[in-house]
């Protein structure tokens, strides 16, 4: 089910948010932390976007097939999965990933908060499209 093709259109939003984060944060981070801080920022954004895509792809199809009463539970599970994947990945990268840990962890937190909003937006639009087809 692609809910009228909206599935593909919704996939662009995390990428747009990541580009806005990178564009808005690159120079301030570069000025405060240098090139290693900017690299850490970009790594953090890539991590959070990758995790959001993972949770979206694991959630959207089951939501389309689930009863309306089960959809909220699936969205909440996506949030739990996002957290349980992001946290250990961020810790491993910060400790052994060759990035400046302070900038990296600050940007993981910033990008995580932004991506929560993006993921919520995408899932709300997805459920609306599914319900429109039902």
C-alpha closest to that of 86 among 126, 61, 115, 63:
115
Q: At what angle do helices 68-96 and 12-65 cross, to 10 degrees?
A: 140
Q: How close are the terminal C-alpha atoms of the chain, in Å?
A: 12
DSSP SS3 for 49: helix
Residue ranges for the chain with pLDDT beneath 50: none
How is the chain split into domains, by residue range? Answer: 6-133
Q: At what angle do helices 101-133 and 12-65 cross, to 10 degrees?
A: 50
Question: pTM (2 decimals)?
Answer: 0.90
Task: Report pLDDT for 121.
Answer: 95
């Amino acid at each position: 089910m692609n809910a009228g093709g909206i599935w593909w259109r919704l996939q662009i939003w995390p990428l747009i948010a990541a580009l806005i984060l990178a564009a808005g944060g690159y120079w301030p981070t570069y000025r405060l932390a240098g090139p290693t801080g900017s690299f850490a920022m970009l790594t953090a954004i890539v991590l959070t976007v990758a995790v959001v895509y993972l949770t979206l792809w694991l959630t959207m199809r089951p939501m389309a097939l689930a009863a309306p009463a089960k959809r909220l539970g699936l969205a909440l599970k996506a949030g739990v999965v996002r957290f349980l994947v992001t946290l250990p990945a961020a810790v491993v990268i910060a400790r052994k990933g060759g990035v400046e840990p302070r900038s990296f962890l600050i940007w993981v937190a910033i990008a995580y908060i932004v991506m929560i909003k993006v993921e919520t937006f995408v899932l709300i639009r997805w459920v609306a499209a599914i319900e429109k087809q039902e």
